[in-house]
Amino acid sequence: MKTAHAAWRRLEPVHGMIYFVPEARQRYADLGLSGRAGYFASRSAAFGRASAELIISTFYNFNPAFVRQAIDGVWDATTPQQVLDARYAAVGEALRRAGIHELPHLPEVLTLVRRAAEAGCEHMEGRPLFAAHAALPWPEEPVLQLWHAQTLLREFRGDAHVSCLLSEGVGGLEALILHAATGEIPVDFLKASRAWPEEQWAETEEHLRKRGLLDGDSLSPEGALLRRHIEDRTDRLALPAYAALGEAGCERLAELASPFGRAVVEAGLLKLG
């Protein structure tokens, strides 16, 4: 399980950069999508003309009112296919800027990660966001194939993570606050990007303190244990995809993935904004 997690984590920047790069913002702006409309439209376009309700249910930790405001009028301005095309164009531009296409082990990494992604398609039940993306055709360009494969694995794991949170009675805002309490991501960024009202954030923090999950602004021992439990369960539910590689394949992917993730980071593609 640890090897599969390492393989996913080390290659995850290749997928995650699309939420931060200027290439994406420009492409979405060209379609008339401003602010966070581009994010919600691009990640949900695999569903078709996704409603605010569908996005709220699958994205989980965003303020519902914020989602409704951001998505309002999106599908009058453009189409899901135009958004998907813009997303892939931005992916190609950004990853080439990072030099991903020039890395020597691209063919082998692509073979491994695509095998895992396709194995995940045999286990799509209960994974709506993954299933929607799995129904999209594979791109022809290797760099785009790599991104698509890692996107599938990210959504495969993400849908499982939502299931774990629900089963533990952890709501979207609660999950966000518990994540903020780890110190892994600046709390100001999480507040700004998820757009929960400050009063509601403070009330939920107090609720988590009463549950014994927070100690001040940090995780309590009980909170850390719960979060570790959820992460471990999520990793277990992500294993069906990586099981296709076997232990040796996961180790090889984890080994080869590091330069890809590092190239994305060093090119500044993950700068918070």
1 pLDDT higher than 80: no
What percentage of the chain carries pLDDT values higher than 90? Answer: 96
Q: Does residue 271 lie within any of the structural domains? A: no
Residue-wise pLDDT for 182-216, tens only, equals 998 889 999 999 999 999 999 999 999 999 999 99
Q: What is the pLDDT of residue 271?
A: 84
Residue-wise pLDDT for 224-256, tens only, equals 999 999 999 999 999 999 999 999 999 999 999
> Where in the sequence is the domain holding 16, given as residue range(s)?
2-266
Residue-wise pLDDT for 146-176, tens only, equals 999 999 999 999 999 999 999 999 999 999 9
Q: Does residue 257 lie within any of the structural domains? A: yes
How many structural domains comprise the chain? 1
144 pLDDT higher than 60: yes
Q: Does residue 273 lie within any of the structural domains? A: no
Q: Does residue 272 lie within any of the structural domains? A: no
| Angle between helices 2-16 and 106-120 in degrees, nearest 10 | 110
